[in-house]
Structure formats: C-alpha cells, structure tokens
Amino acid sequence: MKKTYTFILLLFISLMLVGCGGHRPSITLRVLDEQTKEPIEGAYGIAWWYDVHGLPGLTHHELGELVEMVSDKEGNLKIPPLSCKTKPHIKVFKPGYVGWYNFEIYKGYYGNDRTWARVIKGKGFEYISQDIYLERWKNEYSHDSHFSFLNNMIPTGIGYNLQFSEAMQNYLLPFMK
C-alpha cells in the first residue's frame, strides 16, 4: 500500500515538473485580403503565450513568451518555434483592414448603435500553418470599438516596445473621439 502511494506521489510530481514536455513547431500564417484573396504585405502580427504555474486548481498565468512579426510581400507571418505553452494568442493588424484575433471575431458597431454585439467567439484555431483573411475596413464601423478590440488583452509592461501597438495607435488615434 505504501508503495502505491509513493508511486502515485512521484508520478504526480513528475507530471507537474515536465509540463507539456516539448516545443511548438514554427508556423506560417499567410495574411490575405478577404475580397481579392491577394497577399497583404506589412501586416503587423503579435503572438504570446502564458505559462501556467501552481498546483491543479490553484494555478495562475504569467506571460511566457511574446513575438512580433510583419508580413512579407507574400503575406507570410512566421512564428518561430517556441517552448510549449498554453494555446497562443495571435492578433494581426493592417491599417485599412479589420484586425484579426484567433479567439474572437470583430463585428463592429454600426454608427452609434451600441446594442449590436462587438465581437463573437472565434472558431477553433489550430496551431498549424494556415491562411487568415482580413476584412477591409467599412466606414460604418466604429474606430474606438475597433481600437478597444485590438488593444484588449495585449500584454503590457516594462520592456515592451511593441511595433504592433505603435502601428495600431498611429492609425487609430486620429479617429478616437
């Protein structure tokens, strides 16, 4: 009986120390115009992961890794191989387009109608190379709600001078009321 408890305890401790036990492979997201299906050059991308710490049921998240990318002329955003983390958060922004986020889809407000849902839950995003489509900006969308959508949940703190945030603010701040 004592051997069984010892084995279970050692197994539990080893699983906690190992975590997910690997690395995520590099992936390429190809950023395309939703209407023309043409590649979009110069789109800013940001990807971040959280590390989970603590015992089951008593966990907390800390920013693990963060990478920024800019799409090339073929529209490719390359995310390098990183340590295994939780499911990544990925946002893509290009002035003149609606931002893309792998967890939510921006639907915008039309004019001053704040009763219409701003976001809907994103469809299942798999961590594999794939095409993502950016919708062209519509004048009836609200710049301030779009800014809020893009800025929400982006890690901030000392030492972060994010190109993504700077590009987003340079484009959207003139429209803010």
Spell out the domains of the chain, with CATH numbers in brackets. Answer: 24-175 (2.60.40.1120)
Note the pTM of the prediction, 2 decimals: 0.73
Q: What is the percentage of the chain residues whose pLDDT exceeds 90?
A: 17
Is pLDDT larger for residue 30 or for residue 101? 30
**Helix (H) or strand (E) run with residue 90 in it:** strand 89-93
**What angle do the packed helices 163-172 and 143-151 form, to 10 degrees?**
170
List phi, psi (to 5°) of 50. Answer: -110, 145
Minimum mean pLDDT range among 17-31, 60-74, 79-93: 17-31
Residue 58: pLDDT above 50? yes
Residue 28: pLDDT above 80? yes
User: In whole angstroms, what is the distance from residue 74 CA to residue 80 CA?
Assistant: 17
pLDDT at 116: 53
User: In whole angstroms, what is the distance from residue 18 CA to residue 58 CA?
Assistant: 18
pLDDT at 4: 65
Residue 139: pLDDT above 70? yes
Average pLDDT, the chain: 75
Residues 99-125 have a mean pLDDT of 68
Structure tokens that stand for 124 in this block? 């299942």
- pLDDT tens for 87-102 read 788 889 898 998 888 8
**Helix (H) or strand (E) run with residue 104 in it:** strand 104-106
Q: What is the percentage of the chain residues whose pLDDT exceeds 70?
A: 66
User: In whole angstroms, what is the distance from residue 154 CA to residue 174 CA?
Assistant: 21
Of 28, 111, 41, residue with least CA distance to 74: 41
pLDDT at 112: 60
